[in-house]
Amino acid sequence: MKYTFPLAAVVALVLFSWIGASIPGMQYIFGIAVPYLAMVFFLGGFCYRVIVWARSPVPFKIPTTCGQGFSLPWIKYDKLEAPLTTPQVMARMFLEVVLFRSLWRNTKAMIYKGPKLTYESSKWLWLFGILFHYSFLIIVLRHMRLFLDPVPGVIAGIEFFDGILQIGAPTMYLTEVTILLGLFLLLGRRFFNRHVRYISQPNDYFPLYLIIAIVLTGILMRFFLRSGIDIIAIKRLAVGWVTFHPTISADIGSIFYIHVFLVSALLVYFPFSKLMHMGGVFLSPTRNMANDTRMRRHINPWNPDIKPHSYAAYEDEFRKDMVEQGIPVEKPLTAEESAAAEE
């Protein structure tokens, strides 16, 4: 169920956009209204989620350290794994975002006969993750050729190196292969690794299916279902989106609308799902805090404002009642006070 329901959802999205975009006139909905709405949801939702996180206080200083922390100046400490200063934290964050160092540390626990427990380095998730994420990044950057006019040299350069094998026409891109490889390996991990399968939820499968569908529609559009794929008409529409003068000129094939609809679905789904780790990685307190608990006091922002109340002040406040109840006091009542108490 948890495998098939998200798959059915993606198939439904494909069928919906396929049938929808075939109805005359609906191209304006699927080609203009839907992408704009999706972008609004994406940007608005993304900012909303980040601001909600920014408003949540971090009660404790909780950096995760995995190296020698700073103690005495002559004991060498691990600047990346137990960062003390802001530049060190930034270096750690940068390497986390760019190289996924915490996945690199992943270990696998196994029980052998004996029973004997072993931990062994397991870098598969890191490998699949890095394959997928960098392929996706290059693909997104490559798509900028359809949005920017004139096309900057950097984008053309990325495209040149991606298609450097010059296989077929249109040229096959390396990232088309690597992103599918990454996605199917990540999906296969959820299917075949018992531990991961046990903890996987429909919302783990859905984005994988959805991105696989986006990649497959893109590949089909580029190589196999070319009828009606007039790249000039498509670029005109894409440049139209970003200049707010969208024009749907020719009969663009349905596969294009399916591709655009699936990307729109991904954009809308993004801020409300686990995909927000894109923004969340920057806000993870275990990574973005310095390991300086012994040098700087971290005050819990939601601590109530309690004023100090000394015993002397306490006795001043309650002396009369204390004397009345026979509780010993340090400072006796003054003559006037005891006279007032008598009455």
Residues in the interface with other proteins (CB under 8 A) total 51
Which residue number, 276 or 333, has a Cβ lying nearer to other proteins?
Answer: 276
| Window of 68-76, 105-113, 160-168, 315-323 that interacts with other proteins by CB under 8 A | 160-168
Cβ distance to other proteins smaller for residue 145 or 287: 145
Give the Cβ contact number of residue 324 at 10 Å.
Answer: 11
Of 267, 263, 227, 202, residue with least CA distance to 46: 267
Q: Rounded CA gap, 231 and 276, in Å?
A: 32
| Positive or negative torsion for Cα 67, 93, 188, 270 | positive
Which structure tokens are listed for 197? 């399968």
Interactions with other proteins, residue window 210-249 (CB under 8 A): 226-232, 235-236, 239-240, 242-245, 247, 249
Instruction: Give 134: exposed, middle or buried? Use CB within 10 Å, 0-12, 13-18, 19+.
Output: middle
Strands (E), the chain: 107-112, 116-121
Alpha helices by DSSP H, listed for 55-85, are none
Q: C-beta of 292: minimal distance to other proteins in Å?
A: 16
As measured in angstroms, the least distance from the Cβ of 124 to other proteins is 30
Nearest CB to other proteins, comparing residues 160 and 314: 160
Write down the least CB distance from residue 215 to other proteins, Å: 20
Shortest distance in whole angstroms from residue 174 CB to other proteins: 16
The single residue among 1, 51, 111, 295 that binds other proteins, judged by CB under 8 A, is 51
Q: Alpha-carbon distance 222 to 215, whole Å?
A: 11
**CB of 308 vs other proteins, minimal distance in Å:** 26
If the CB atoms of residues 197 and 235 are measured against other proteins, the closer one turns out to be 235
Is there binding between residue 97 and other proteins (CB under 8 A)? no
Contacting residue, 43, 99, 177, 339, with other proteins by CB under 8 A? 43
Instruction: Show contacts with other proteins in window 297-326 (CB under 8 A).
Output: 301
Rounded CA-CA distance 170/308 in Å is 76
- Which residue from 127, 276, 288, 301 is spatially nearest to 203, judged by alpha carbons? 276
Distances (CA, A) of 255 to 30, 91, 139, 209, 223: 12, 43, 18, 17, 12
160 binds other proteins (CB under 8 A): yes
In the complex, the smallest distance separating the C-beta of residue 307 from other proteins, rounded to whole angstroms, is 24
C-alpha to C-alpha distances, 105 to 27, 119, 127, 205, 238, nearest whole angstrom = 48, 11, 12, 24, 41
Least distance to other proteins, CB of residue 79, Å: 21
Task: State in angstroms the smallest separation of the CB of 108 from other proteins.
Answer: 35
Which parts of this chain interact with other proteins (CB under 8 A)?
42-43, 46-47, 50-51, 54-58, 144-152, 155-156, 159-160, 166, 168-170, 226-232, 235-236, 239-240, 242-245, 247, 249-251, 279, 282-283, 301
